[in-house]
Chains A and B, each alone.
Chain A
Amino acid sequence: MTEKQPTASGFVLPDLEVPETRGFWEGTAKGELRVEKCGACGRRRMPPRPMCPACQSLKREWEVMSGRGTIWSFVVPHPPLLPTYAELAPYNAIIVSLDEDPSLRFVGNLVTSADGPINEIDPNTIQIGEPVRVVFHQLEDVHLPRWVRARS
């Protein structure tokens, strides 16, 4: 296995200093799930990027979402994986479609609480279409969006 650890915690994490995405991660640190919106035509886009594909404007704004959505798909990874993830496997990874616009999707994990482990929920109980809401979990200096069952 690799002896190079991805980060101090062993988790792969985003670079927080990228101009296009910094505002997103500043939002999660404040407990906000932000989506980028064109400053000219108002169209939302995910992931964040410099130019609006609809009107080519470079003006960008952040819009705070409700943090509610539904599970669009999910997987249960098993080893071989990077060491930190292999220790947690099998765990779940889900894709969430946001209620505001189902074509806005986020990859994440379904957990029972913000700081709960990603392997706590029985994968056999996860269903596509389940309503979820966002929570935030701190790893090093990053606040990752995660998801709990909306009715739990």
Chain B
Amino acid sequence: MTRGIRDRTAIVGMAQTKFGKGLEDSELSLACQAIAGAIADAGLRPSDVDGLASFTMEEMREVEVARNVGLGDITFFAQISYGGGAGCGVVGHAALAVAEGQCDVAVVWRARKRAARSSRVWMQTTRRLSDHYQWARPFGVIRPVDEIALLMRRYMHEYGATRDHLANVAIAFRKHANRNPHAQMYEKTLTREQYMNARWISEPLCLYDNCLETDGALAVVITSAERARDLPQVPVYIHAYAQGLPQQHQTMLNYYCDDPLTGPAWACARRLWANSDIRPHDINCAQIYDAFSPLIPLSLEGYGFCKRGEGAAYTDDGALEWPNGRLPTNTAGGGMSEAYVHGFNLVLEGVRQLRGTSTSQVEDAANCLVTSGEGVPTSALLLRR
């Protein structure tokens, strides 16, 4: 029996606003610009759209988006939680809805004005805590970077990983951003020496182990494979999608289970590969969620590119770098060097690789793995031409 949504739907349109700090346009305006742009890119009309999927952290409600962009009657709308873990999942939900006939043309988007200091979620800790953060924040583990740094320190201890491995990640993605004129770090190079001398944010993680802060919006359009073949863009098929929320997981503060270093990626990957004809060693390029550099080695392990404990060493010898690395990863610069829009920019770069339009184009790329955040309930997509 063939399981999953294999190639029954495709991404047929995409668009993004410019990325930056302190953009004047409102989040709603940015969202509308990206969505209208993606629909036009697909060769469709706004009134053709009858499905919407978004992040629960998305502040632009479906009604506002639909009223502004002039969408048709919406017969499917859904949201997924857990911030950076949601991106591939919302695309997957839209694809499921199209595949099952709950809608014909679905739009998925993310709009965010994050670059303002006041928008940092952890800065908004204003009261006595009654949720699971009460077990960490009183002690000064306040920001996501502190929470991930605790896992990384343990990982370094268990497997001999070093800052040099994390520098491999940061430098690879920066090199890709330096080739992408839309990347926030397009004009800023990064050397190993700069990395090693950077200020600490949460030891063992430094400034360059962190993603950027970005204002911007992106959107993609999904429709059936049949309809996709009549549209102007090269169809990028959604071969498989999966989500993962493993047993006894605790979001971000995953310290309360037998093995905290085995995160949601492992559970997500089992379903993803089970519903796919493609295997990890067949993957041509990857877009891996990188709010923090440690998520790359952890995700490489979780998605089966190497064994547990080998993810850091996997990054050696330029393995993540275009064009000669064994797995060119985050080829537009990723969250650390292109833009941090909750990982949704990774979906669009996956589409570009399969359209053949990336600024770091992997030759003959036939497939691309896109993942959402490790460390929170997550999701992933396998895209193919």
Given contacts A4-B126, A12-B129, A75-B146, contact A90 B203 (CB under 8 A): yes
What residues of B have a CB within 8 angstroms of the CB of A80 in the complex? Answer: 117
Most chain B CB within 10 A, of A16, A18, A75, A106, is at: A75
Q: Within 8 Å of chain A (Cβ to Cβ): is B134?
A: yes
Number of interface residues of A (CB under 8 A): 46
Given contacts A46-B256, A81-B143, A105-B255, contact A75 B149 (CB under 8 A): yes
Q: A16-B128, A107-B150 are in contact. List 4 more A-B contacts (CB 8 A).
A: A21-B130, A75-B202, A93-B136, A139-B138
Q: Within 8 Å of chain A (Cβ to Cβ): is B200?
A: yes
Mark the stretch among B28-36, B151-159, B357-365 that contacts chain A.
B151-159
Give A91's nearest chain B residue, CB to CB: B140
What residues of A have a CB within 8 angstroms of the CB of B151 in the complex? Answer: 73
Q: How far is the CA of A2 from the CA of B203 in the complex (A)?
A: 24
Majority SS of interface residues in chain B? Answer: mixed
A residues with a Cβ closer than 8 A to B are 1-2, 4, 6-7, 11-16, 18, 21, 46-47, 53, 72-78, 80-82, 85, 88-91, 93, 95, 103-109, 118, 123, 128, 139, 142, 144
Number of interface residues of B (CB under 8 A): 42
Q: How far is the CA of A109 from the CA of B248 in the complex (A)?
A: 25
Q: Within 8 Å of chain A (Cβ to Cβ): is B2?
A: no
What residues of B have a CB within 8 angstroms of the CB of A46 in the complex? Answer: 256
| Docked-complex contact B134 and A15, CB < 8 angstroms | yes
What residues of B have a CB within 8 angstroms of the CB of A78 in the complex? Answer: 199-203
Pick from A72, A82, A106: contact of B125, CB below 8 A: A82
Q: How far is the CA of A50 from the CA of B132 in the complex (A)?
A: 13
Pick from A6, A11, A76: contact of B203, CB below 8 A: A76
Pick from A6, A85, A91: contact of B126, CB below 8 A: A6
Q: Within 8 Å of chain A (Cβ to Cβ): is B196?
A: no
Q: How far is the CA of A86 from the CA of B69 in the complex (A)?
A: 44
| Docked-complex contact A107 and B141, CB < 8 angstroms | yes
| Docked-complex contact A85 and B140, CB < 8 angstroms | yes
What residues of A have a CB within 8 angstroms of the CB of B124 in the complex? Answer: 2
| Docked-complex contact B154 and A128, CB < 8 angstroms | yes
| Docked-complex contact A77 and B258, CB < 8 angstroms | no
Q: How far is the CA of A82 from the CA of B158 in the complex (A)?
A: 31
B111-125 contacts to A (CB < 8 Å): 117-118, 122-125
Most chain B CB within 10 A, of A11, A18, A53, A81, is at: A81
Given contacts A6-B126, A12-B129, A78-B199, contact A73 B140 (CB under 8 A): no
Q: How far is the CA of A51 from the CA of B373 in the complex (A)?
A: 28
16 A-B pairs with C-beta separation under 8 A? A1-B117, A6-B127, A11-B138, A14-B134, A77-B202, A77-B203, A78-B199, A82-B122, A88-B140, A93-B141, A105-B256, A108-B139, A109-B140, A118-B140, A128-B157, A144-B139
B290-332 contacts to A (CB < 8 Å): none
| Docked-complex contact B150 and A15, CB < 8 angstroms | no
Q: How far is the CA of A47 from the CA of B142 in the complex (A)?
A: 18
Given contacts A103-B257, A128-B154, contact A82 B142 (CB under 8 A): yes
Q: How far is the CA of A89 from the CA of B199 in the complex (A)?
A: 13
Per-residue 0/1 for B190-209: is the Cβ within 8 Å of any A Cβ (1 yes, 0 no)? 00000000011111100000
Q: How far is the CA of A80 from the CA of B213 in the complex (A)?
A: 14
In the assembled complex, how far is the CB of residue A80 from the closest CB belonging to chain B, in whole angstroms? Answer: 8
In the assembled complex, how far is the CB of residue A119 from the closest CB belonging to chain B, in whole angstroms? Answer: 10
In the assembled complex, how far is the CB of residue B21 from the closest CB belonging to chain A, in whole angstroms? Answer: 15
Give B200's nearest chain A residue, CB to CB: A78
In the assembled complex, how far is the CB of residue A139 from the closest CB belonging to chain B, in whole angstroms? Answer: 8
| Docked-complex contact A95 and B204, CB < 8 angstroms | no
Q: How far is the CA of A96 from the CA of B157 in the complex (A)?
A: 15
Most chain A CB within 10 A, of B134, B201, B202, is at: B134
Q: Within 8 Å of chain A (Cβ to Cβ): is B271?
A: no
Pick from A16, A72, A75, A123: contact of B141, CB below 8 A: A75
What residues of B have a CB within 8 angstroms of the CB of A82 in the complex? Answer: 122-123, 125, 142
| Docked-complex contact A81 and B126, CB < 8 angstroms | no
Give B247's nearest chain A residue, CB to CB: A53
| Docked-complex contact B204 and A75, CB < 8 angstroms | yes
| Docked-complex contact B146 and A14, CB < 8 angstroms | no
B191-237 contacts to A (CB < 8 Å): 199-204
| Docked-complex contact B130 and A18, CB < 8 angstroms | yes
What residues of B have a CB within 8 angstroms of the CB of A104 in the complex? Answer: 256
What residues of B have a CB within 8 angstroms of the CB of A107 in the complex? Answer: 135-136, 139, 141, 150, 253, 255
In the assembled complex, how far is the CB of residue B254 from the closest CB belonging to chain A, in whole angstroms? Answer: 10
What residues of B have a CB within 8 angstroms of the CB of A53 in the complex? Answer: 248
